Amino acid sequence: MPTETFEFQVEARQLLQMMIHSIYSNKDVFLRELVSNASDALDKLRLEALRDDALDVDVSDLHIAIEADRKARTLTVRDNGIGMSHDEVVQLIGTIANSGTAKFLRELKEAEGSAAAEGLIGQFGVGFYASFMVADEVELLTRRAGEDQGTRWMSTGEGTYTVETVDDAPQGTSVTLRLKPEDSDDQLHDYTSPWKIREIVKRYSDFITWPVRMAAETTPEDAGAAGEEADDTPREPETLNSMKALWARSRDEVSDDEYHELYKHISHDWVDPLTTVRLQAEGTFEYQALLFIPAHAPHDLFMQGYKRGIQLYVKRVFIMDDCEALMPPYLRFVKGVVDAQDLSLNVSREILQQDRQIQLMHRRLAKKVLSTVKDMMSAEPEQYATFWREFGRVVKEGLLSDFENRETILGISSFASTHDKDEPTTLRSYVDRMKEGQEHIYYLTGESRQAVENSPHMEAFRAKGIEVLLLTDPVDEVWVEADPEFDGKKLRSVAKGEVELGTEEEKKEAATEREGRQQEYADLLGWMTERLGESVKEVRLSSRLTVSPACVVSDTNGVTPALEAMYRAMGQEVPHSKRILELNAGHPLVSGLNRAYAARGEEPVTGLEETAELLYDLALLAEGGELGDPSRFVRLMADRLERTL
Ligand code: ADP
């Protein structure tokens, strides 16, 4: 078979350029990435051999081997794992599957040259391509288990790669790096030095459950560094990693660094996690969990098909990635390992979904994560702020789906508020600041902080100094509908129902005043309710306006227009619910209209009708809503403006 030449996909090419031009300072991690891939390949082979009797492979000595050749300046990482077919090589190594790549590359371009660029690369994790930080040519030789022919892939990372079929490749994968000259970069170590290799593997990959072996020749310098005798004969392969499952060891035996490296192996992230969560369940159903909350949200957290990061082990043996049965969707960013003692090695996803023990585990793990965040709120406020910034939007989905933990989730949530321009508030702090006579926790939903803050619905609250939560995530429209409560107080929209603010006395006073006005305006309100009957179900006087002439509100149980639009976007039929138009009797436009209506003669009342219509349209515009007939509004408005000239 002839050698074929392929071009890298555009994104892959850009990423490779960055690797070649050394944008990431910690070059050592390339080896971690190769060992991590090899370890995954061994896991996959073991599982496939278990499930497929026909697959004729030897799984008795699965391992990873590292070989360094100092004279040739090459380093090889070899595994006898699952391997790749010709098409897989082209697919997996020639392209980047990560759906957030384009966005990531854009951000990276903006950050070019700055320290932020390194952080971004770290958040992305570049896997196999990290090899090009240290090598000027990479050869990958692989044969998939069960196939006869192997594939050789070669590239210098500059635009193209070649692929050819080979007849005598061993099963599994070996990656050989032709290392860059040592003096080409001062962050480059001598990666042919057994001492250096030992150090890197120990540091980053000690917990890998397969042996990582090295058969090395020692050199005088190594012997010096390691305090051993120099000799030129090849030695017995040594195993570099301890293979100890970190989750099975007690807390004081494991350093934070070791936990972090396990996190990086599982998550393919290059930066440390925000926090580590440990759980050891004893008793009839024994299991250990070691979970991590990342320090940043992945790019594809809100995309369909986002993979959850829990790996399931049974008695130290890897069973599956992405075990969705163990973590609720609103905690899908949590990564980690769960090792159960009493499950079958053959357990399938379907069985897991139905298993009662697994459901109990799921509940307990979710509670544990939530309580960890709760502790973080008081003990590490800055860490909590990062958590909420990165994952708050996802966590709030739990307010809809996890009824059992709803109050806990509300307790660990933060919201923008009129109390502070920059800092979000917790409900606990909100409740502590509540005014005398205030019964509810008030909020307003909308598109942006600015739109919400300037909405006419806020006027009375602002005048009375009552704090309002400003909810602007799409998910906020939905969970508030479920009538949530915190600390015995209901959450109430300032755009729904009647508002009664202030002390008992003030409320009484306001009621008497309203009654008087009600009589004065009764005719106008009745007439307008009839005139605008197609759009609104009632026109009434408002107790929430101080500045604007009018606003539109929903019934206490009414659906907001934004939620209606959302249901429609999801293809659901929802009846259009009419809202209520509220007028501010203190506004000259409204009191003027009332006088004009009372003094109307026998003539047609077209002018008054138009004013009523315009009042309604203005109320819609003020809350950022859409007009039923914008061109008619413009015509009426232009006509009136003209008369002022
Ligand atoms: P990631 O590991 O983050 O998915 P990589 O670029 O490191 O990204 O690898 C891409 C894919 O190539 C892997 O997901 C895996 O399917 C395949 N792969 C890489 N190395 C090996 C290997 N040693 N054996 C088998 N498959 C491999």
- Range with top average pLDDT, 46-50, 303-307, 512-516: 46-50
| pLDDT (mean) for 106-129 | 78
Tell me which DSSP letter residue 573 carries. Answer: -
Higher pLDDT, 299 or 167: 167
DSSP H or E run through 173? strand 172-179
pLDDT value at position 182? 79
| pLDDT (mean) for 298-307 | 82
| pLDDT (mean) for 68-80 | 96
**Rounded to 5 degrees, what are φ and ψ at 311?**
-100, 135
| Whether the CB of 38 sits within 6 Å of ligand 1 | yes
| Backbone torsion region of residue 548, taken as left when φ is above 0, otherwise alpha when ψ lies between -120 and 50, otherwise beta | beta
| Whether the CB of 306 sits within 6 Å of ligand 1 | no
pLDDT value at position 235? 65
Can you state the angle between helices 29-51 and 194-205, rounded to 10 degrees? 60
CATH topology of domain 4-241: Heat Shock Protein 90 (3.30.565)
Protein residue with its CA nearest to atom 18 in ligand 1 = 37
Cα–ligand 1 centroid distance for 637 (angstroms): 64
Protein residue with its CA nearest to atom 14 in ligand 1 = 92
Name the average pLDDT for the chain.
89
Tens digit of each residue's pLDDT (9 = 90 or more) over 149-166? 999 999 999 989 999 999
Indicate where the chain has its CATH 3.30.230.80 domain(s): 248-386
Q: Which atom of ligand 1 is nearest to the CA of 79?
A: 23
| pLDDT > 90 in the chain, percent | 61
| Whether the CB of 298 sits within 6 Å of ligand 1 | no
**Rounded to 5 degrees, what are φ and ψ at 277?**
-120, 120
| Whether the CB of 593 sits within 6 Å of ligand 1 | no
Q: Is 50 exposed, middle or buried (0-12, 13-18, 19+ CB in 10 A)?
A: middle
CATH superfamily for domain 510-555+566-643: Heat shock protein 90, C-terminal domain (1.20.120.790)
Measure the CA–CA gap between 83 and 44, rounded to whole angstroms: 9
Protein residue with its CA nearest to atom 23 in ligand 1 = 38
Residue 259 token pair: 């936990």
Within 206-336, residue ranges assigned H as helices are: 220-226, 256-267
pLDDT value at position 225? 52
Protein residue with its CA nearest to atom 3 in ligand 1 = 127
Higher pLDDT, 121 or 457: 457
| Whether the CB of 41 sits within 6 Å of ligand 1 | yes
Indicate where the chain has its CATH 1.20.120.790 domain(s): 510-555+566-643
- Parallel, antiparallel, or unpaired: how do β-strands 536-541 and 579-583 relate? parallel
| Whether the CB of 451 sits within 6 Å of ligand 1 | no
pLDDT value at position 71? 93
Tens digit of each residue's pLDDT (9 = 90 or more) over 197-237? 999 999 889 989 999 999 855 555 555 555 455 555 556 89
Higher pLDDT, 50 or 375: 375
CATH topology of domain 248-386: Ribosomal Protein S5; domain 2 (3.30.230)
**3-state SS class at 92:** helix
Other CB atoms within 10 Å distance of the CB of residue 148? 8
Q: How confident is the model at residue 423 (pLDDT cuts 50, 70, 90)?
A: very high
Tens digit of each residue's pLDDT (9 = 90 or more) over 502-531? 778 888 888 888 888 888 999 999 999 999
Give the closest residue to 387 by CA, choosing from 340, 433, 333. Answer: 333
pLDDT value at position 579? 92
Indicate where the chain has its CATH 3.30.565.10 domain(s): 4-241
| pLDDT > 70 in the chain, percent | 96
| Whether the CB of 268 sits within 6 Å of ligand 1 | yes
| pLDDT (mean) for 333-358 | 88
